[in-house]
Structures are given as C-alpha cells and as structure tokens.
Amino acid sequence: MALLVLIFSIFITLSLSPMITSQKLHPLDPLTMSEITLVQTIVKKAYPTTTTTTTTTSHNNLTFHYVGLDEPEKRTVLKWQSRPKTVRIPRRALVHARYNKQTLELIVDLSTRSLVSQQVHVGHGYPVYSFDEQTKASDLPMSYKPFIESIKKRGLNMSHVVCSTLSVGWFGEDEKGMSPREIKVQCFYTEKTTNLYLRPIEGITMVVDLDNIKIVDYQDRIRVPVPKAEGTEYQMSKQRPPFGPRLSAVASESPNGPGFKLDGHTIKWANWGFHVGFDSRVGPVISLASIYDIEKHKYRRVLYRGYVSEMFVPYMDPTEEVYFRTYFDCGEDGFGQSAVSLEPLADCPHNAVFMDAYYADENGNPVQISNAFCIFEQHAGHIMWRHTESGLHEGEVREVRQDVSLVVRMVSTVGNYDYINDWEFKPSGSIKVGVGLTGVLATKGVPHTHVDQIKEDLYGALLAENTIATHHDHFLNYYLDLDVDGQENSFVKTDLVTKRVSDHSSPRKSYWTITKKTAKTELEARLNVGLRPSEFAVVNPNIKTKVGNEIGYRLMPGSATIPLLTSDDYPQIRAPFTNYNIWVTPYNKSEKWAGGKFVSQSRGEDNLAIWSLRNRKIENKDIVLWYTIGFHHVPTQEEYPVMPTLTGGFELRPTNFFERNPVLKSQQPAPSVEPSSPVTAATPEERNVRDIEPGSPVSNSPDVTVSVTNEQLAHII
C-alpha cells in the first residue's frame, strides 16, 4: 500500500510539472512548493537511498542542504524582459546535497525533469547545515552517559538542560587532507527562564560527526557557576512591576488600500518597479529595480540584483570553549532558511502586506515560512524636500513635501541574534539598505560577580553576576549588481583634496576641490572607506546629462569598519572579503557568495578575494559592486537580557542620473484627518479596498490571482 501511495505521489508531481514551470512565473521567481517537491523526486530517482543487486542490498544516505533557483544568465533574463511572450527560459534548480559522505552540486531542469549537471565537490568546505541534522546533534547529549554524569556533578537537573550547535571553523588541522564534517554542541540551563543563552553550562565541549550523527570528542575541562536566572526573562507575560513607559500606538492607515501593486513577486510602487525573491542561503533578493523618469518618459534600470551575500561573526575569546566561534551566517546556517514569521503590528505596521517563503529540508521536502516578508509604505514623519523663502516682494513662500518610502523587510534568527533586513525605496531614486541587530548576546559563565574581582582579560564585559558577554564583530557583505541605465558601467572614486591659495588672488588661504579616478582593474577598486574624504560611484560613461555629466549612482557608506584580526589568523583567512569595504568585479554568474560556494570548514581557497586576484578589467564593463559593512561590538549592560536594536546600513543615491530633482513635482497626499483630531480606523467600505488587503498574507504560488500581469510590467522590470 505504501508503495502505491509513493507511485501515485510521483505521478501527480510529474503530471503537474508543465503547470509548475508555466511562463506565468517570472524567470527570477524563487522555487515554489511544487517545484521543490519535483526537485526532490528527480534527485532521489537519480541517487536512490536503497540499492539492490542480485546479492546485496546497500543503504545510501542522501540529504539536501541547499535547493534554490539556478539563476538564468543575465543576458537571457534581459532578453526575456524585452520579449516576455516569445522568450522561454527553462526553470532550473541548483542543489547542494550529501550522498554517501560526498558533496554533490547538481543542476535540475524542471522543464525536462532531468539532471543537466552533476558534479562531486572535491575541494575543502561543506554545504549549509540543515536544521534536521543540527536538531539530531543537539539531542545526542541527552542520552550520552559522560554528559549526564557531568551534569550530575554540577548539581543540575537534566530536565532543564537544552543544547545547541556551533560551527567548528578551521584552524590549520589536517592541512593536506579533508577534515571530517563536524559540528560542536554547547548546552544551557533553562530553569526559571526562557532565555537559555544567558545560562550557559561552561567547561563542556562536544564534537559531533555529522555524517554519522555521533559524538566523537568530549571534554569536561572546567567548572564555573551557571549564571542565575534572575533578571534574564524577556517575555512580557512574566514581567513584574514596575513597568517601563507606555508607548502610544499609531496606525498607518491607507484609505484607498496599498499604494503598491503586487503581481506574484513583482512590485510596482510610485515611480519604482522591482522584483522580490527569496533564497534559502541569503534571504531576500531584490532584482531588476527600475525607476520611472518623467523627463524621459521611461523606466530606467538601476539595480539588476542585490542581496546579503555573506555575514561573518567572529568572537574575540581565544579560550578552549570559545575560540572556534567564527560564524558565517549565510554559508553555514542559511540566512534565508533562518527567516522567522513576522508579527503583524509589531515587526511590521498595520498597512503591511505579507508574503510566504519556502525552502527544502534535509529530506528535500518543502518547508513553508509564513509571513517571511512584509512590504509596506513607511510614513515616518520625514521630509522629502522643503524650502522657505522670505525675501520676496509678495511675501513668504513655503513649500514642503512629506516623504513616503516603500520597505521590504525580512527577519532572520541565527542562534542568539535576530537580524532585521530592510530594503527601502524612495521616490527620489535612492535605495536605502538597512540592517538591525537585536536578540540575545552570546555569554559565558565566570566565577566573578563584580568588575573589581577581574584581574585578567576575560575577553568581554561583565553584564551580570557570573556573566561575561564576549566582544565580537558583525560583517555583512552585500552583492550589488548595479546596471546604471545599462550594463556597461565603471567605478569612479572621487577624492576631496585641500588646495592652498598661494598666488594672493584671494583673501582665502585654502579651499578643497575634487579629483576623480576611474578604476580600470579589480585591484584598483579595492578600498576601505573613511580613510580620507572620498565619494564612490558606479557610472555609465556612455550616457551623459544635457550639461555633460556622466550619469551614476553613488554609494553613501555607513560607519567604516575594518577587521582587527591579523591577516594570518585562520578566521581571517576564511573571510578575507572583510579586508576591504569595497570590491568591484566583472559580472560572473558563478561568483555570487563572497565567502565561497562551500563555506563550512572552508580554508579560504574560494572567495571574493581569491577571484579578484585575477585583476580583471572593470572599466566600461558589466560590473558588480560588493560592499561590506561592519560593527565592532563591545557589549553593555543596556543590552542585557535582550538587546535593543542596533542599526546600520548604506544608501545608493542617484548622482547626475536625473536632469533635475526627480520629486520636484511630487504630489502631496491629502491629509485623511485634521491636525490634532482623533484618528479612527476606516471601515472596509470607506477604504475602498483594492487588490490586496493590508496585513493579509500573499502566497507566491503561480495560481494566485492578481490585478497586474507580468506582461503589463515587462517593460518595467
């Protein structure tokens, strides 16, 4: 009976595949639930878990670690963009899997239901961890006798013990051979708190062989007090008086429904059109962002593709229990599969529209993340532009326009940290990219209860009795394939240079001016920001404004952060993309993740820095800007027991892209209420609800009915 059910399931999946690969899908749409199931079926057929011969039956282990869209070549997507009815693009999936202790890299063609490429990875490094194997590894200590004995010796109750996994990194071991695929396990004590990360059980380290799911190394080295539960709880329901300030609630109401239109993953808002995708490794992907120019009467492309390509989080404690904590949150844990469901009215405002996302679990089954994205118009009281002129004969003139922007948001929880990812589009042409860090600090237990007792370097800050929060960094590298009015672009660095007035032509002694330099090769473009006053832009040297300026988009950096680890330290060897804030490479479909393709236990042999050593030409070419932002984090008591959000980011701002202010003629929205009058929620009839109800989830299934078709928007994105 079970066999019949399996056969029927495969038949249904295969019979539906023409529908799955329908041209209703945008070529950059993430894989749907049905497509992930079809990938699973095709791969399992090619790599069976049971092989039977005339004499033996062997059992093979197959696990899925990454299943994502095999992104078509850019030229193919752009051809489809201009002729969506006639250009057909095969839907293909990229799969990283483990089969009999080997790493497979597969390309699956969903249209022909076949494997078009099969490679065995023979170098160092392993694919993204699956949640399933991490759960299995975390459960092992609960039945491991040496661990149970260690817990008893500490006087702790096993019923309050939970464990979590930590990546092992690479520190020079097995220089010439392959390291076994491993993960470490740390345990915590949850009695009287849900904040497990603030009650670590110190001194115990365990290493798990992931291919065999067994503990292969166990140490119980030291014993220190487990930090107290008092003051660690963050749940509101468990708080006791006195309470903090009561904050006023403000609802963002859209009387006529959302100000944007959504067709599948394609968004049109104000003067912007773009595509929102999802990837289980990197999370949100913004593609084909174009802005309408009212002077030229057309949409002009700005950003072909943008996303967080890697995040590196090294901790600054060299002791046995902590030294290996040097995380790559995209390449090891999967920034996308770590996305969490967003809470309406808390993570996102009242006027938000939500979208789901899907990834494949260890067995290849699709997993749904409900409300993985929210999209909303942001009315934050900002001013788009204004001016008051009082020197006129006719009296004072005052003009002001309120600013409204569109935000695409996703939150990823990777271990103890929650990361808020925002892509904000502004009518002025700017794209603001933001990241917020919140969650719980990583801590370790110590015997100290006061800073006066500390006589040695504990590599962190004492935030509570017996609790040290370790110093650490966060580096995020963004992949930004800017196509400023076309693919042929250049990278220009503009220095602000002080000049002295030496010829007595002016009472002034000095002034500053600018000097520009166009980077011709990759190595010329490697830069750290903040070392001197400079500006950085991607320009199109083939198109100029009426007065002769090259059109471009400027990178407006956030705070400048560079690594403080030595270049020969193993974590830094694995993450050399943090050595510079700016890198520029020629477009290459295969170069998409700054940390390399297989990051877990990698050795720095495949990454952005290695690719750039070829020093390829980048002037007037199809180029990619890679930008790394960072935070050096010295913890403070205000970040205990849960951390208020710390924000950072950057802006991509038009620079001579338009002939004049593109929002000069922006129309001020009529106020829905009089100033100081009470705000009341409108009824559905009053709101005249249009295509999408604010706050409602939107499926990414191709069967969803929407008001705008891909064909109508094909000239936009």
Q: What's residue 712's pLDDT?
A: 39
Instruction: Indicate the pLDDT class of residue 253, thresholds 50, 70 and 90.
Output: low
**What string of DSSP letters covers 567-590?**
TTSHHHHH-GGGG-SEEEEE--TT
> Average pLDDT for residues 356-374, to the nearest whole number?
98
> Average pLDDT for residues 29-57, to the nearest whole number?
91
Question: Which residue is associated with the tokens 């487990």?
Answer: 226
Cis geometry, peptide bond prior to residue 557 (ω within 30 degrees of 0): no
For 450, list phi and psi in degrees, rounded to 5: -150, 150
> Average pLDDT for residues 77-90, to the nearest whole number?
93
User: Looking at the predicted structure, is the pLDDT value of residue 714 above 70?
Assistant: no
Instruction: Indicate the pLDDT class of residue 248, thresholds 50, 70 and 90.
Output: confident
Query: Cα separation of 61 and 59, whole Å?
Result: 7
Rg (CA), the chain: 27
Work out whether strand 353-360 and strand 697-698 pair parallel, antiparallel, or are unpaired. Answer: parallel
Question: Which residue is associated with the tokens 């032509």?
Answer: 505
Percent of the chain's residues with pLDDT above 90 = 81
**What string of DSSP letters covers 43-63?**
HHHHS-SEEE-SS-EEE--EE
CA angle 582, 105, 366 (to 5 degrees): 95
> Which stretch of 125-134, 254-263, 651-660 has the lowest confidence by average pLDDT?
254-263
* 3-state secondary structure at position 287: strand
* 3-state secondary structure at position 608: helix
User: Looking at the predicted structure, is the pLDDT value of residue 615 above 80?
Assistant: yes
> Average pLDDT for residues 604-612, to the nearest whole number?
98
Three-state secondary structure readout of 675-686: CCCCCCCCCHHH
Query: Cα separation of 384 and 400, whole Å?
Result: 8
Instruction: Indicate the pLDDT class of residue 59, thresholds 50, 70 and 90.
Output: confident
Contact 636, 268 (CB under 8 A): no
- Identity at 209, one-letter amino acid code: D
Contact 105, 121 (CB under 8 A): yes
> Average pLDDT for residues 463-477, to the nearest whole number?
98
Average pLDDT across the chain, whole number:
90
Helix (H) or strand (E) run with residue 7 in it: helix 2-20
Single out the residue of 260, 250, 140 nearest to residue 204, CA to CA.
Answer: 140
> Average pLDDT for residues 261-266, to the nearest whole number?
95
Q: What's residue 164's pLDDT?
A: 97
Q: Is residue 194 exposed (0-12), middle (13-18) or buried (19+ Cβ within 10 Å)?
A: exposed
Span 131-167, pLDDT tens digits: 999 999 999 999 999 999 999 999 999 999 999 999 9
Span 656-706, pLDDT tens digits: 999 999 999 998 766 655 554 443 333 333 333 334 444 444 444 433 333
Q: What's residue 178's pLDDT?
A: 79
Cis geometry, peptide bond prior to residue 242 (ω within 30 degrees of 0): yes
> Average pLDDT for residues 609-632, to the nearest whole number?
98
Sign, CA torsion 634/638/640/643: negative
**Euclidean distance between the first and final Cα of the chain, in Å?**
49
* 3-state secondary structure at position 336: coil
Domain 33-49+58-120, CATH class in plain words: alpha beta
Sign, CA torsion 567/569/570/572: negative
* 3-state secondary structure at position 616: coil
Single out the residue of 40, 33, 51 nearest to residue 10, CA to CA.
Answer: 40
- In this predicted model, which residue has the larger pLDDT, 9 or 614? 614
CA angle 625, 629, 632 (to 5 degrees): 160
Q: What's residue 252's pLDDT?
A: 64
Beta bridge partners of 300: 291
Span 353-362, pLDDT tens digits: 999 999 999 9
* 3-state secondary structure at position 455: coil
Query: Cα separation of 148 and 157, whole Å?
Result: 10
Contact 330, 281 (CB under 8 A): yes
Query: Cα separation of 441 and 635, whole Å?
Result: 8
Torsion (CA) 125, 128, 129, 130 in degrees, nearest 10: -140
Cβ partners under 8 Å of residue 485, min gap 6: 300, 301, 540, 543, 551, 657
Residue boundaries of the structural domains of the chain:
33-49+58-120, 307-383+405-655
Single out the residue of 331, 281, 208, 282 nearest to residue 601, CA to CA.
Answer: 331
Percent of the chain's residues with pLDDT above 70 = 89
CATH 2.70.98.20 corresponds to the domain 307-383+405-655:
yes
Single out the residue of 317, 536, 531, 267 nearest to residue 443, CA to CA.
Answer: 317
Residue 692 tokens, joined: 């999408």
> Average pLDDT for residues 258-267, to the nearest whole number?
93
Count of residues for the chain?
Answer: 717
Instruction: Indicate the pLDDT class of residue 1, thresholds 50, 70 and 90.
Output: very low
Enzyme catalytic residues: 329, 417
Span 323-334, pLDDT tens digits: 999 999 999 999
Question: Which residue is associated with the tokens 């409300």?
Answer: 371
> Average pLDDT for residues 226-247, to the nearest whole number?
93
Span 170-225, pLDDT tens digits: 999 876 677 899 999 999 999 999 999 999 999 999 999 999 999 999 999 999 99
Q: What's residue 674's pLDDT?
A: 54
Torsion (CA) 460, 465, 467, 472 in degrees, nearest 10: -30
Q: What's residue 393's pLDDT?
A: 81
User: Looking at the predicted structure, is the pLDDT value of residue 394 above 50?
Assistant: yes
Residue 401 tokens, joined: 């326009």
Query: Cα separation of 253 and 184, whole Å?
Result: 48
Single out the residue of 660, 680, 667 nearest to residue 402, CA to CA.
Answer: 667
